[in-house]
Amino acid sequence: MNKIDLNGRCAVVTGGAQGFGRAITERFVASGAKVAIWDHDLPFAERTAAEIGENARAFKVDVSDLAAVESARDATLKAFGKIDILVNNAGITGANKTVWEMDLGDWRKVMAINLDGPFICCKAVVPAMLANKYGRIVNIASIAGKEGNPNAAHYSASKAGVIALTKSLGKELAAHDILVNAVTPAAAKTAIFDQMTQQHIDFMLAKIPKARFLLVQELASMVAWLASEDCAFSTGAVFDISGGRATY
């Protein structure tokens, strides 16, 4: 593990109880940061925080609910005193269906968590970063947001929206030492696979030139750099981590 200096930094990781979020939380704590795990499943998040150690704390929050996010923000500021880093990681895939077979409720649920969630969290946290005159925001998008996956239009569209949100917010905050970047990972073997058909999983693997799925620790390494002071001149950017799948 290369050393990343996050000493003295306070971070929020949404969906931090498992998968990408847990790996990011572990890497941040190993790098010297304190981390607030924002997750809808508080008991799970508390177990994760206990396993990681005293520099991780769990907070219950529904990222699609502005009032809940503002409450979690206030509780985090009370506990840590500041928020230097925000990682918008919480997400769901929804059912694998064609556009014409997809349930409208499923479309809206995916959008509410995957796209509204990052917007709401940024809306709530950015004022605290502006007051502190420093911040790093990392949005977890997806290669699906670049290419579009068949039978996953809701997920693909939500992640494309995250990329556009990143670019817009990055420009808005560029003069404030608050940098906003996105990563576009290929699939990794996490609990999110439980929401997918085996056919869809096989499709995603077949598209990766490295012929394997992403490791969660590999994503965490990239996010840790983007969350650090070493990342000083990249904002509104999209960082590929797709094993060669990306077409742009």
Annotated catalytic residues are: 155
59 touches 38 (CB < 8 A) = yes
> Which amino acid makes up residue 233?
F
Residue with tokens 């010297």: 32
Q: How far is CA 228 from the centre of its chain?
A: 16
Sign of CA dihedral 47, 50, 53, 55: positive
State how far the Cα of 167 lies from the Cα of 7, in Å rounded to an integer: 28
DSSP 96: -
State how far the Cα of 161 lies from the Cα of 60, in Å rounded to an integer: 25
